[in-house]
Amino acid sequence: MAELLLDLFCEEIPSGMQARAAGDLARLLEQTLADLKPRNIRSFYGARHIAASLEVDESIPTRTISERGPRENAPEKALAGFSRKHGVSPDELTKENGFWVLNRTLPPVKAAELIAEQLPDLLWKFPWPKAMRWGNGSLFTWVRPLHHIACLLDGQTVPFSLARQDDDAHGLKSGNVTEGHRTLSPGSFTITSTEQWLRELETRHVVINEEKRADLIRQGVHKLAEEKGLTLVEDEGLVQEVSGLVEYPVPLLGRIDDAFMDLPPEVMQVSMRVNQRYFALRTKDGKAAPYFAFVANQTFSDGGTLCIAGNERVLRARFADARHFWDLDRKTKLANRVDALKLVTFHAKLGTQEERARRISTLAGIIARAMGLDDAQVKHAERAGLLAKADLTTGMVGEFPELQGVMGGYYAAHDGEAPEVAQAVAEHYMPRGLQDGTASAPVSVAVALADRLDMLAGFFAIGETPSGSGDPYGLRRAALGVIRTIRDNGLRLDLGNLLSRAAETYAGKDGRNSALDELEPFFTDRLRVQLRNEGRRHDVLDATLAVTQVQEDRSLFTDHLDGDLVRLLSRVEALSDMMDTEDGQNLLAAYRRATNILRIEEKKDGPHHQAPEAALYVQDEERELDAALNKAGPKITASLADDDFTSAMQHLAALRPIMDRFFEAVTVNADDADQRLNRLRLLSAFSRNGQLIADFGRIEG
């Protein structure tokens, strides 16, 4: 066993590329050196280092390989070609199982030899998302100019060069040196082992462990905030980004001029994050604090005073720009900006943002009425829908696209719009991501749903649907946003009808758009994804969906999705709970046994949907099952009508012991033909009772 260390030292690597590059390096080393049985692979990355350490065998032992050639009766040309390809004569081949076979014994290969042979090609082909050339003449590329390639096997340099024919690859060769921090510990040092390399880097002010760097940043900024009695606006994405920018993190605290504290806190936070990678702070009552935290890449003899002053000066300039947009934007009312949306294209086939705003306005009113909102709220929803996209024409959103909606809410409030309207404009993009909450104010909910339903109907109507992993318009996210908003607010809406209303603009001469038929399976698939992410059973959803078409009349959907998602998910939850019980599992077994018998026998003389005749019963178990079915059926139907799915499941589960006794005592395929048909009709009645609730045949387990 030998220890291999590969450290690639270059100029500053973009933060977002580092983790992937380290993973690629470990993966490629494992693949390239597979014959050395690599194990215990560790990867490291930072602003200027991508590295990996692993254990490998010291050599590849002598081994025999066999390669099968042409068949024995193949033409001589085929045999000659195979021999020529492998540099042997036909006499060196043997016959095995009807084929010519080449058996060769390969000599042992030392690990250092294989590494030196394979690594140059690995580095030439390294899969950076973006790479650059530098210097003169060489075609070798790297993410940034590469300075050192340290490659050691058990402390000894593995010598190789990246030069190829007439390309000197910038003279890059492997060695045993690398560098520490650019300013705190300039210069190179010699490496002897992985552990020595780690210790020396830390001594030279490079924290190469990414988790440790991130922890130092988190703990440092939290401590600075606590010392001022403030709280940090949590931003893990920013922590990771800053961690990739610094080698030796030193958190510092700066102050914001009071003159800028009346800016919206979202403006301040986004400006600090996007432009400067600063952390925003809040007071105990949640208001924006007049401080910001940032992370320097070195220590300071003055405690960072000069550095803090410089960053405060830069932030003043950034906030001055934000102040300019804030003041300028408010001079034009949001309502007066709607016409300007005619100059903003939403999609070439779907018109302008102004046309879309009017569609959203109309649809928001329809949804508000479906939610049971009063006339005033309906008008607020229509007004908010019209204004929802107007902030796209503002300077602030042009500078910070992340503030879409948020700024519209501020400008609407400034213009004197109703509070519900301003809130809905601000919240209609919610949820913006998986971790974001959904809108909860009634008017906001109506506009948020209208925005997404219009987008889904429009893109499906023009055939721009997601395919494979591609979803350029975020339609999967939009559908999940609809589902989450409906579920979180417990809305009893007919989703199919709302989609139909959203699609009216795109209907053909026949009054509908056939492309919208794809929306039902699309929403069903998104529902499966969400339930799976929650740890729910997708088979129970499929079993429930299978009977929805029988239960409900949906004008848009031609398959099975119940447009009332709250009702549908209540059915799923009730069925899932029952399937987790012993009665549920036994009932499932009885159902499968009954349907298997029916499937076989109905090929002979089915279907057997007629009502069974009591006069043909000869066993008490038949009579007991008939009585139980006549009693359970109406109860199940009544419970389903009341959306009491738990009770419906309980009524069905009560049949389980009766079915057990029936199968134990009764021979369904009796010799008497009339008794056989009657018993099959009895099983069919049982099956139909189950199908009122779900297609149990689709449930796994």
The closest alpha carbon to 381, from 423, 349, 353, belongs to: 423
pLDDT surpassing 70 at residue 259? yes
Question: What is the rounded average pLDDT of the residues 391-418?
Answer: 96
- pLDDT (tens digit, 9 = 90+) per residue, 652-661? 888 889 988 9
284-288, 294-298, 316-320, 501-505: lowest mean pLDDT where?
501-505
Rg, Å, the chain Cα set = 35
128, amino acid identity = W
Cβ density class 404-437: b for 16+ within 10 Å, e for less: bbbbbbbbbbebebbebbbbbbbbbbbbeeeeee
Q: Which one is predicted more confidently, 623 or 93?
A: 623
386, amino acid identity = L
Q: What SS3 state is found at 435?
A: coil
**CA 497, CA 520: separation in Å to the nearest integer?**
12
Contact 255, 294 (CB under 8 A): no
- pLDDT (tens digit, 9 = 90+) per residue, 573-594? 888 888 888 878 888 888 888 8
Tokens representing 64 are 């025999």
- pLDDT (tens digit, 9 = 90+) per residue, 608-617? 888 899 899 9
Contact 180, 189 (CB under 8 A): yes
Report CA-CA distances (Å) from 100 to 63, 126, 654.
Answer: 20, 39, 70
CA 290 to chain centre: 36
3-state SS string over 48-82? CEEEEEEEECCEECCEEEEEEEEECCCCHHHHHHH
CA 138 to chain centre: 40
Tokens representing 617 are 């019963």
Tokens representing 156 are 């000894």
- The pTM of the full predicted model, rounded to 2 decimals, is 0.79
Confidence band, pLDDT 50/70/90 cuts, at residue 454: very high
Geometric angle at alpha carbon 33, from 30 and 35, rounded to 5°: 115
Q: Judge if the upstream peptide bond of residue 14 is cis by omega within 30 degrees of 0.
A: no
Bridge partners of residue 291, in order along the sequence: 255
- pLDDT (tens digit, 9 = 90+) per residue, 540-560? 888 887 765 444 433 333 344
φ and ψ at residue 189, rounded to 5 degrees: -145, 160
- pLDDT (tens digit, 9 = 90+) per residue, 592-631? 888 889 889 888 887 888 889 989 999 999 999 999 999 9
- pLDDT (tens digit, 9 = 90+) per residue, 341-390? 999 999 999 999 999 999 999 999 999 999 999 999 999 999 999 999 99
- pLDDT (tens digit, 9 = 90+) per residue, 184-232? 999 999 999 999 999 999 999 999 999 999 999 999 999 999 999 999 9
- pLDDT (tens digit, 9 = 90+) per residue, 526-536? 888 888 888 77
- pLDDT (tens digit, 9 = 90+) per residue, 478-513? 999 999 999 999 999 988 888 888 888 877 655 556
The pLDDT value given to residue 551: 45
Question: What is the rounded average pLDDT of the residues 113-123?
Answer: 96
**CA 427, CA 405: separation in Å to the nearest integer?**
7
Confidence band, pLDDT 50/70/90 cuts, at residue 78: confident
